[in-house]
Amino acid sequence: ELNEKTVIVTGGASGIGRACVARLFDEGANVVAVDLDAQQVQAVIDHLGADERLVAVAADIADAERVDDLVATTVNRFGAVHGLVNCAGVRGVGSVIDVDRHVWDRNLDVNLTGAFNTTRAAARATVDAGGSGPIVTSPSTAGVEGVPNRLAYVASKHGLVGLTRGAALDLAPPGIRVNAVAPGMIRTPMTSVMLDDPEEAERIRREHPIGRIGEPAEVAAAIAFCCRTTRASSPARSSLRTGGSTAGTSSTGERPDD
Ligand code: NAP
């Protein structure tokens, strides 16, 4: 279903985004992998075989002009944008008492405004071309419940859930499906600080009733499902890939989709 479709993946150099680049490429899509570091994102492409269906772009998604440029570049190269997977993200530490203002700003700029920049640019290009397609965001369970000492991250991810829901309604008429895939704890460079500490890893594992930490490829499978199927078509449907960790606490009333 993804043959000849072009999907932009932000955060494509690492973790979940990297797994999405591989999965969507395997499923036949043209994939534009976007990340901050040119060499790291190019290395991901090279690892997959430097195919002409793969392009690496270095860009900061917090920079709206740069995001518009990368979408224009994608249209020039492949003729259209059919999908967007928002995986770029940062995770700052700090409580409401002591969070550093720079950490607050960067979390909001990347996790929320960055996702707005990419969603707006991709949606405009898709609508201008008379097309339809999927947009996926990756809010985290921190988008639906609080986490101590992660104030900026929690606030940005709650905002991202709102962005997903609002955009889903705005973009339903032209046929653009906007969905959130909200993982629990997944083993990636973002979480290695916690998971490399045996006591912390055990505490986190106990919070996940499936009894283990998730892997990026599992989240990529859920995101690929959102990209290729019309079954995930209800606006802003949330897929909580939480390993069951929010099964007893979700305030959204939505059933985890594990
Ligand atoms: P990751 O391994 O750190 O990958 C995120 C990538 O995004 C990194 O390569 C990072 O580059 C890049 N990035 C950061 N800021 C950027 C910007 N302004 N423009 C472009 N790229 C940028 O993280 P991950 O664990 O795969 O997480 C992917 C997404 O899933 C994030 O939005 C995260 O919040 C969300 N999520 C993750 C988990 C989890 O347990 N891992 C759970 C729930 C949700 P640098 O490394 O250079 O900063």
Residues 6+ apart with CB under 8 A from 118: 8, 10, 61, 67, 71, 84, 86
Q: What is the C-alpha to C-alpha distance for residues 126 and 185, in angstroms, rounded to an integer?
A: 32
Q: Per residue in 25-50, is it b (16+ CB within 10 Å) or e — as a string?
A: bebebbbbbbbbeeebbbebbeebee
> What per-residue confidence (pLDDT) applies to 253?
38
Q: What is the C-alpha to C-alpha distance for residues 132 and 95, in angstroms, rounded to an integer?
A: 41
Q: Provide φ and ψ at 61, rounded to 5°.
A: -70, -15
Q: Report mean pLDDT in 10-residue bins for the chain, 258 residues.
A: 94 98 98 98 95 97 98 97 97 97 98 98 95 93 95 98 97 96 94 93 90 95 88 50 52 38
Name residues contacting ligand 1 (CB within 6 A): 10-11, 13-17, 35-37, 60-62, 87-91, 110, 114, 138, 140, 183, 185-186, 188-191
Beta bridge partners of 81: none
Using the mean position of ligand 1's atoms as its centre, give its distance from the Cα of residue 131 in Å.
28
Using DSSP's 3-state secondary structure scheme, residue 85 falls into: strand
> What per-residue confidence (pLDDT) applies to 249?
47
Specify the pTM.
0.93
> What per-residue confidence (pLDDT) applies to 230?
59
Q: What is the C-alpha to C-alpha distance for residues 207 and 194, in angstroms, rounded to an integer?
A: 14
- Let me know: does 123 contact 134? Beta carbons within 8 Å: no
Half-sphere exposure (CA, 13 Å, Cβ side) for 190? 22
